Structures are given as C-alpha cells and as structure tokens.
Amino acid sequence: MRPGRDAIGGGGSSSAAADLRIDWEYAPAPESREIVSIAPDYGLFINGKFGPAADGGTFPTINPATEEPLAQVAAAGAADVDQAVAAARTAYQQVWGPMPGAERAKYLYRIARILQERSREFAVLESIDNGKPIRETRDVDIPLAAAHFFYYAGWADKLEHAGFGTDPRPIGVAGQVIPWNFPLLMAAWKLAPALAAGNTCVLKPAETTPLTALLLAEVCQQAELPPGVVNVLTGAGDTGAALVAHPGVDKVAFTGSTEVGIAISQAIAGSGKRLTLELGGKAANVVFDDAPIDQAIEGIVNGIFFNQGHVCCAGSRLLVQESVAEAVVDRLRRRLTTLRLGDPLDKNTDIGAINSRQQLDKIRDLSAVGEAEGAQRWSPPCVLPSRGFWFAPTVFTGVSQSHRIAREEIFGPVLSVLTFRTPDEAVTKANNTPYGLSAGIWTEKGSRILWMAQRMRAGVVWANTYNRFDPASPFGGYRESGFGREGGRHGLAAYLDA
C-alpha cells in the first residue's frame, strides 16, 4: 500500500512485509473528468425518450470515493413500469421480433462501435459513480461490454445454427435487474444476448450506480435503435420487484444477492415466466505446493482484490497446501504492501472505493466477526482517505471452515486463508459451501488440474489464472449461486424458445 501509518488494525503484520515496503511515492496520474458531463437530473428511458417518473420521484446518486452528490435520478414507480413494459411489448411485436437477424445485428454492431468510440467517457463515468479504479473500467469493464455486443451481433443471424433447434424464437419482453459491481458490463451481459435473439428489454440498474446504464440508453438513441427495444428504469429494490412481477414480462434475468434471487423466484413462481439467476459465491482459490508461486500470488491478488472484492466469483477463500502456506502468505503480504489504494481516477490506483456505506458496513461487520471468532487479521500499512467509503485489503489467517468469514459472501477486499494437506482434502474444503459459482487451481500438473476440475462443484474453474472473462465463454453457477448461463452460445438459451 502507499507508505503511511497503519490505519486499519494491521495487528499481527509481518515485520518482514513491513521491512520490504516500497518507500517511495508514485506521482499522481489523474485521468481527467473533462470528458464526462454529468447532468443535474436524469430521467427514465422509455420508448426511446428520457422523461421524469410519473409521480416525480427521484433519488440521489453519489461518488462513493468522496460522498459528493452527482445527480438526482428518476425513481420509477408502478406506472412507469407499466409504460416501459408496454413500450417493450409494442416494439417486440411490431419491429424487433419480426426484424431479420442480420438487421438486428447491425444495431448491435453499432452499439458496440459507439461504446468503443466513447470508451473513455464511459470509463471515467463508471469510476466516478461506482468507485472502481479507472485502470479497471478502462481495461476491463468497458472493453468487455463492447466485446459482448460485438460477440452477440455475430449470433443474431445464425440462431438456427446455435444448437437450439432449426427455428428458435425469441421469448418476448425481458425484465432484467442488475447489481452495482459491474454496472455497464452487467447491462451488456443482459442486453446483448436478449437483443440478438429478438427480445426487447426493460433494464433496472442498481440504485447506487445508474449513470452508465443511462449513458448506454443515450448510445441506443445514437445508434437509432427503434424506440421501446431497450428501456431503462432507474430506481430502488421496489422498482426491480415491480418489474419482475409485471404480468407483461415474459422472461426475468437477475444478477445480485442470493437473498433477492430467492425473493424473485418466489414472486414469479407459477407465472410461467422464464428465469435465470446469477447470484453470489464463496469461491476457493486452491494453491498446491508445486504451483508457480509468483504467478499464484498475482492470481490470489487478482482473485480477491480486483474491483475491491465486489465480484461474485471472487476467490475469497484461499486454500493453500500446508507445506507452502507460510511462504505463500509471506509473499502475499509483501505483494499487498505494494498495492495502491486511493483516488479511483488516478491511473496508478489498484484499490478504489467501496461502492456504498451499506456495503462498507457489511464488510466491517463481517471482518469484526472474523476477529471475534479467533482468526488473525492483517492489513498492509495504509492511510485511508478521510472522506468516502474505504476498506484496506485484509487477509485473515488461522481461519477454520466454521468461521462466518469462510462461509458468507463478504463482497469486499477480504481474504480468508485456509490450509489443506491432500488433494482430496482440498476438494472437500472447496466444495464445503452452499455456493457453486467459481474456483481456481494453481499447480504445474495438467493431470491434477483435470482431476480437481472434475470434482469441484463450480460453474467456472480457472487453472493457473483467475477472473478471466470472455464473451464467448459461458458463465454461471449452481446451487445457491443460481442457474442459467450468460456468455457464449449457452447465453442465448435463456432468451430463446427452442
């Protein structure tokens, strides 16, 4: 971390790690905010136009790095949900459903191209509204969002070759609810396959991160997407609840907490609506004694500290073989002392702000529980900014499987370290979770990778890498991590009636 005093209980810090701290500062390298113009107010995007909520309701969105208010955003109520779903239905029946796939593809390509052209603007806006570092929005979120539109544009005129029968049909109107951790990217994951398959969409972004979804709505206008094909309803959880329960919605897609995923399943049970859920995770990142340790350290850091740990597939449980545990933890601590926490718009920043006070409170509470239950807490020396929502990268050692920090999704920069002796024990511990979204394996043996991957109950298993995403690759979980796949050919299945 940036040199400074230990601001967050770095008790138990290894003196070796402290000694090896890099004692010099990088010069600031701030990305300019000039490219973004944030309006004081934002409306709902319904039938190709922006307008206020029917009841005039609004809510503020803030910059989590500074707590500075950014804009007032319209809060959609039941009447707005009605209007948006009706617009999506008309567009589905009259324009988008009947349109040949090759024509739909042109719009998706256009959206992808505009996203690329305006990528800096999107990256800066995402960092301001979400708190994540510009390095990540610039290099991961925005390029991947554009890549999703490019990828699914390619499928739009080839649906009969996608393996879902010779004449797959769109489902109709999709109600899509997304979280705050990858606001634009999750919008792209939802919209691109739905549109390619011929559905129309009503999208509900998270309350704390509405701005890039609204900018994407502007891109839809710029691409001259027919009105009503994409509608964006900003609001809180009750807007999402009204959307998914609306009788005019044929298909529901949700990414977020397991708790809300269950509530949605209950709300629409028996309605005949199609449903896909991408929920939480508590992934094991398993390091064997023959792993390339330096690469594994990078994979561990990327696995849990990327995006402040606000990642459903984060490698939040490190399972390390006992014989190398001490060496791995030592090197990990050393590496963490070089991470830079601070201004999300600084191009040197590795760790940005926590997305909301509510999320910060949750991370603090669960970390306190970890200590109370007897695990040893360590954070590198670092000074947290005085305003905004911040949490230093934290590593817990001496964690046992019964600890809450080993069982519950913290969704923050907090790593729990457990050890194992044999591959069987690694598999048993990795699978000892109600979730099943992702896992990582670090070993030099290909045979061991395959042996482990067959036994780990996770939708995605990375080997000697972590958090790799590609639009061509399906992603999703099972058990309490949800069902259905996003990405790849599989991602089309959720939006087609075969």
Return the active site residues: 278, 312
Asked if residues 13 and 378 have their Cβ atoms less than 8 Å apart, the reply is yes
Nearer to ligand NDP, 366 or 463 (CB): 366
> Of the ranges 178-186, 337-345, 419-427, 454-462, which one interacts with ligand NDP (CB under 6 A)?
178-186
With H, G, I as helix, E, B as strand and everything else as coil, classify residue 281.
coil
> Of the ranges 253-261, 326-334, 380-388, 457-465, which one interacts with ligand NDP (CB under 6 A)?
253-261
Q: How far apart are CA 314 and CA 316, in angstroms?
A: 5
Residue 359 binds to ligand NDP (criterion: CB under 6 A): yes
Please tell me the total number of residues recorded for the chain in this structure.
498
Nearer to ligand NDP, 5 or 270 (CB): 270
Q: Indicate the residue whose CB is closest to ligand NDP.
A: 240
Query: E-assigned strands of 214-359?
Result: 230-232, 251-255, 274-278, 284-287, 317-321
Residue 205: C-alpha distances to residues 141, 182, 215, 295, 348 (Å): 15, 10, 12, 36, 28
Nearer to ligand NDP, 156 or 215 (CB): 215
Nearer to ligand NDP, 76 or 114 (CB): 76
Count of positions on this chain that bind ligand NDP (CB under 6 A): 26
- Type of residue numbered 120: R
Candidates 488, 433, 421; CA nearest to 457 is 433
Least CB distance to ligand NDP at residue 408 (A): 8
Q: How far apart are CA 366 and CA 80, in angstroms?
A: 37
Q: How far apart are CA 376 and CA 11, in angstroms?
A: 8
Residues 292-331 that bind ligand NDP (CB under 6 A): 312
Residue 236 binds to ligand NDP (criterion: CB under 6 A): yes
Instruction: Please pick, from the candidates 13, 255, 276, 443, the single residue that binds ligand NDP as defined by CB under 6 A.
Output: 255
Instruction: State the alpha helices, DSSP H only, in 337-433.
Output: 357-372, 404-407, 423-430
Residues 387-426 that bind ligand NDP (CB under 6 A): 409, 411
Nearer to ligand NDP, 14 or 257 (CB): 257
Residue 476 binds to ligand NDP (criterion: CB under 6 A): no
| Tokens (6 digits) for 413 | 């920069």
Instruction: Please pick, from the candidates 126, 207, 250, 480, the single residue that binds ligand NDP as defined by CB under 6 A.
Output: 207
Asked if residues 352 and 133 have their Cβ atoms less than 8 Å apart, the reply is yes
Instruction: Please pick, from the candidates 1, 123, 215, 241, the single residue that binds ligand NDP as defined by CB under 6 A.
Output: 241
Residue 487 binds to ligand NDP (criterion: CB under 6 A): no
β-sheet with 317-321: strand ranges across: 376-378, 394-397, 414-420, 317-321, 284-287, 438-442, 460-463
Least CB distance to ligand NDP at residue 366 (A): 9
> Of the ranges 12-20, 24-32, 174-182, 439-447, which one interacts with ligand NDP (CB under 6 A)?
174-182
Contact set with ligand NDP (CB under 6 A): 177-181, 204, 206-207, 236-237, 240-241, 244, 255-257, 260, 263-264, 279-280, 312, 359, 362, 409, 411
